Amino acid sequence: MSLYRHVLRCNAHNLDLFLPFIISGKHLGWIRNTFADHLRRWPRFFELSGDKVLINDNLSSCETRTKAMKEVCEILAFENVIPPSRGELFSVAPSLGDNPLINIDRAWVSVFGFESYGVHLNGYVLTPVEPELWLGIRSPDCLIDPEKLDNMVAGGLPAGHTLEENLLKEASEEASIDKDLAVKAHSAGYISYIMEVDEGLRRDTLFIYDLAVPEDFEPVDQDGEHISFIKVPASEALSLVEDGDEFKFNVNLVIIDFSIRHGILKPDHHEYKLLIRDLRPFA
């Protein structure tokens, strides 16, 4: 089949169907034209100018914007216009590390097309032949892609956490990796995509980490994200990506990236140059 089809799927969108969403003079999001009409009910919070939507300047602090957005989104969620709250805030800022201009429940990030961040950890065992990857099997209760294969550790970046803090937290919760081992993970770059979804627009940047774990290590989930784990040669994981749809949608990209960096995917593969070019389409 194809590896590149996963990149195409994660970047399928039509921005002609969306309006820029402006906060404090900065274009930070995209909302569907059809969804913008719902915001007309709150003129004290939003200004609709025809070709864009702005948060009113009278909401001049992160706290006031966050409070107003929570009020609006809770009503729209009650009316089944948008998904219900997930009880976890994400920060929205011009760039990662900047002071947030607003905090919003993670369920509503895609509704407003804000960029979000996450960490994905490739846990693997070194062997003389090739790395063997630990993969999680997602719980049937997962909201996205239940029962599909996953990275050993992955999670979105909640408000108030650094990437490193979040990596340590997720490693403990999802795989019982203690801090002494988790801090040995090394940053391996990132992948990004823009994907139209039912709620709106996903604009995700996933920061990738690699961690070689001891041969006798076995991950144990503590937060219910995974029902079990399997360990497979990296080439077998790549074949599953190429020939099927066994993985959570964005984990396909993480496996491809790992395979490129570790020499599993060879430069003579017919999609190699396309993959290198488009794993970071809005870098």
Tokens of 227: 């029902």
Q: Which CATH number fits domain 4-11+116-278: 3.90.79.10, 3.40.50.300, 1.10.3720.10, 3.40.50.720?
A: 3.90.79.10
Percent with pLDDT over 70 in the chain: 99
Kindly tell me the burial class for residue 14, based on how many C-beta atoms sit within 10 Å of its own C-beta (0-12, 13-18, 19 or more): exposed
* pLDDT at 283 (0 to 100): 57
Q: Considering Cα of 185, then 186, then 188, then 194, what sign does the dihedral take? A: positive
Under the banding of pLDDT at 50, 70 and 90, the label for residue 77 is very high
Vertex 40, ends 18 and 91: CA angle to 5°?
60
Write the pLDDT tens digit of every residue in 218-236.
Answer: 999 999 999 999 999 999 9
Q: What is the mean pLDDT of residues 50-67?
A: 96
Contact of 137 with 228, CB cutoff 8 Å: yes
Q: What is the mean pLDDT of residues 155-183?
A: 97
Range(s) within the chain of domains with CATH label 3.30.750.160:
15-112
Helical pair 251-261 and 234-243, crossing angle rounded to 10 deg: 130
Write the pLDDT tens digit of every residue in 244-269.
Answer: 999 999 999 999 999 999 999 999 99
Under the banding of pLDDT at 50, 70 and 90, the label for residue 282 is low
Range(s) within the chain of domains with CATH label 3.90.79.10:
4-11+116-278
Q: Against a cut of 0.85, is the pTM above it?
A: yes
Under the banding of pLDDT at 50, 70 and 90, the label for residue 120 is very high
| CATH architecture for residues 15-112 | 2-Layer Sandwich (3.30)
Write the pLDDT tens digit of every residue in 6-27.
Answer: 999 999 999 999 999 999 999 9
* pLDDT at 50 (0 to 100): 83
Q: What is the mean pLDDT of residues 155-159?
A: 97
Under the banding of pLDDT at 50, 70 and 90, the label for residue 281 is confident
Three-state SS for the chain is: CCCHHHHHHHCCCCHHHEEEEEECCEEEEEEEHHHHHHHHHCCCCEEECCCCEEECCCCCCHHHHHHHHHHHHHHHHHCCCCCCCCCCEEEECCCCCCCCCEEEEHHHCCCCCCEEEEEEEEEEECCCCCCEEEEEEECCCCCCCCCCEEECEEEECCCCCCHHHHHHHHHHHHHCCCHHHHCCCEEEEEEEEEEECCCCEEEEEEEEEEEECCCCCCCCCCCCCEEEEEEEEHHHHHHHHHHCCCECCCHHHHHHHHHHHCCCCCCCCCCHHHHHHHCCCCC
Mean pLDDT rounded to a whole number for the chain: 97
* pLDDT at 121 (0 to 100): 98
* pLDDT at 1 (0 to 100): 87
Instruction: Find the farthest-apart pair of alpha carbons in the chain and give their distance in angstroms, rounded.
Output: 64
Under the banding of pLDDT at 50, 70 and 90, the label for residue 211 is very high
